[in-house]
Amino acid sequence: MPDNVNAQITDAVTQTNVKVVAEAPAQAIAALYQVSSHATGLSIQNAVHSQQAMNQITTAVVSKACQLIMDIGEKS
């Protein structure tokens, strides 16, 4: 390895390393925000799906209850 390295080459390598190290926190936070947003979106989708399933069950229960009430009137 030569003892004398051109100062421009040393500066270019140093600047590249500084740039990579300086951008790392921003990229980490961006990845965190992206993962958090995705998880929040999935939880909202799950909540909507559960609510839709509950609405279907509720409709069936109300329908059956109405039928039972109407059957009571016919038996009397």
Residue 22 belongs to some domain of the structure? yes
Residue 69 belongs to some domain of the structure? yes
What's the average model confidence in pLDDT over 12-40? Answer: 91
Does position 45 have pLDDT exceeding 90, yes or no? yes
* pLDDT at residue 7, rounded to an integer: 82
Residue 2 belongs to some domain of the structure? no
Name the domain count of the chain. 1
Domain that holds residue 36: 7-75
Question: Rounded distance, CA 63 to CA 69, Å?
Answer: 10
Q: Is 6 left (phi over 0), alpha (psi -120 to 50) or beta?
A: beta
Question: Rounded distance, CA 44 to CA 38, Å?
Answer: 10
Residue 1 belongs to some domain of the structure? no
> To the nearest whole number, what is the mean pLDDT of the chain?
90
Does the pTM surpass 0.85? The reply is no
Residue 70 belongs to some domain of the structure? yes
Pair of tokens at residue 12: 């270019």
